[in-house]
Amino acid sequence: MLHRTTAGRIFDIFNVILFIVFCISILVPFINAIAISLSSYQAAAIGKIGLWPKGFNIEAYHKLAYSKQFLRTFMNTAFLTVVNTALVIVLSLSAGYVMAHKHLIGRNFLFIFLIVPLYFSGGLIPFYLLVNKIGLNNTYWALILPGVINVFYIIVFRNQINQLPQELMESAEIDGASEMRILINIILPLVLPMAMAFVVFSAVAYWNEWFGVLIFIREKTMWTLQFQLREILINSALIDSETQKALINEETTIHPNNLKMAALMLTILPIIVIYPFVQKYFIHGQLVGAVKG
């Protein structure tokens, strides 16, 4: 067993203290937000709430749970997250497999063709004009189609498939397996950890989507959860008229800060619940491309 030097011990102590401070800086605002969401109107109005609720009150969560607009945005976000993530992973894996195929003519040119838009884009205004011109504005397609091609994922899948033993694919071809069967039965199990890591990244990104709604969507029924949260944080109120009237009638029960923090907690709750089950894939994704075979 190696004996640590004094400098090594000091370095370890410094690292431990640094990470403790870092964790506290993250947890304290989060716990404070929970405390505000569960505090009474009077305590929220005064604004002197620490890490523990004052005057326990769950009316803000009750109003959000019965808000048609909030529930609709929740369903919109869940739908877009599932659809977009599935499309991105399927198309990226398929394109990566095609790009890695030895029989593909001009694959080096196609690789360069994909690299260029990875670093250069036309900008926001041409992007908006294009989406508007093809008739996707104010539709769910405006939140789905523009992002289904992820060049980074395609390149990573291509490189990973290139590193696999080519004998596996060749033997399958000799046995008469189709390209689809090779992709599903041979390639997919070998790159599954990477694919699951990308699923996590994509799902989190689409769950937090709000900018596309800001520039493309005009109907409130098509808003996402994050954009709804933005409106709550700005206006301190829900959007649907029924809940708005209820909040006005019960003004002494729910403070705007109660509503803001409760909406914040409900927005991030699904990610908090799911993350422990997919943490191993998230960690694997951090190492994608870090070690070359």
pLDDT one-digit tens code per residue, 173-232: 888 888 888 888 888 888 888 888 888 888 888 998 889 899 999 888 899 988 888 888
Share of the chain above pLDDT 70, in %: 87
Q: Which two tokens stand for residue 161?
A: 């498939």
106: left (phi over 0), alpha (psi -120 to 50) or beta: left
Work out the pLDDT band at 239, boundaries 50, 70, 90: low
Q: What is the pTM of this model?
A: 0.78
Q: List, as own/partner pairs, every contact residues 112-121 make where C-beta atoms lie below 8 angstroms and the sequence separation is at least 24, other chains included.
A: 114/151, 114/154, 114/155, 115/151, 115/155, 117/151, 118/151, 118/152, 118/155
pLDDT mean across residues, the chain: 82
Residue 283 has a pLDDT of: 61
User: Cβ neighbours of residue 45 under 8 Å, at least 6 residues apart?
Assistant: 255, 257
Pick from 10-19, 129-138, 189-198, 215-224: least confident? 189-198
Work out the pLDDT band at 118, boundaries 50, 70, 90: confident
C-alpha span between 179 and 182 (Å, rounded): 5
Residue 293 has a pLDDT of: 41
Domains of the chain: 6-66+240-286 (no CATH), 68-216 (1.10.3720.10)
Average pLDDT over residues 133-158: 89
Work out the pLDDT band at 238, boundaries 50, 70, 90: low
pLDDT 10s digits, 64-112: 888 888 889 999 999 999 999 999 999 999 988 888 887 788 888 888 8
pLDDT 10s digits, 247-288: 555 445 677 788 888 888 888 888 888 877 777 666 655 555
The one-letter amino acid code at 13 reads I
Per-residue pLDDT for 10 more than 70?
yes
Work out the pLDDT band at 115, boundaries 50, 70, 90: confident
